[in-house]
Amino acid sequence: QQPVQSPQAVILREGEDAVINCSSSKALYSVHWYRQKHGEAPVFLMILLKGGEQKGHDKISASFNEKKQQSSLYLTASQLSYSGTYFCGTVDNYGGSQGNLIFGKGTKLSVKP
């Protein structure tokens, strides 16, 4: 089953924060986050493995709540370069470390000056 992302779209001013959520009906092994700018390929951001770890780089971080089968992506002090569509991809427990990703439909983030 395809994970559900929310919100579908969000508009921010530079410097504002945003949270993007990804929810699955299946028990998950891992959650992957990607960003895609208009007309370009998706670019890998990070992977979170089951165990509830939180990861981040720069001002983008993420958490994974294994029990709730949810992940959240946190963008703090947003910059114009953060604009794009964010996708979560999930691997269920059956797939394990090399399981195939099932992607959500994406969240379109627009950062305005």
Partner 1 sequence: DAEITQSPRHKITETGRQVTLACHQTWNHNNMFWYRQDLGHGLRLIHYSYGVQDTNKGEVSDGYSVSRSNTEDLPLTLESAASSQTSVYFCASSNRDNEQFFGPGTRLTVL
Q: Residues interacting with partner 1, by CB under 8 A? A: 2, 30, 32, 34, 40-44, 47, 87, 89, 91, 97-106
Q: Give the position of tokens 């770890």.
A: 53
Nearest residue (CB) to partner 1, 37 versus 77: 37
| Other CB atoms within 10 A of residue 63 CB | 17
Nearest residue (CB) to partner 1, 16 versus 56: 56
Nearest residue (CB) to partner 1, 11 versus 43: 43
d(CA 46, CA 59): 13
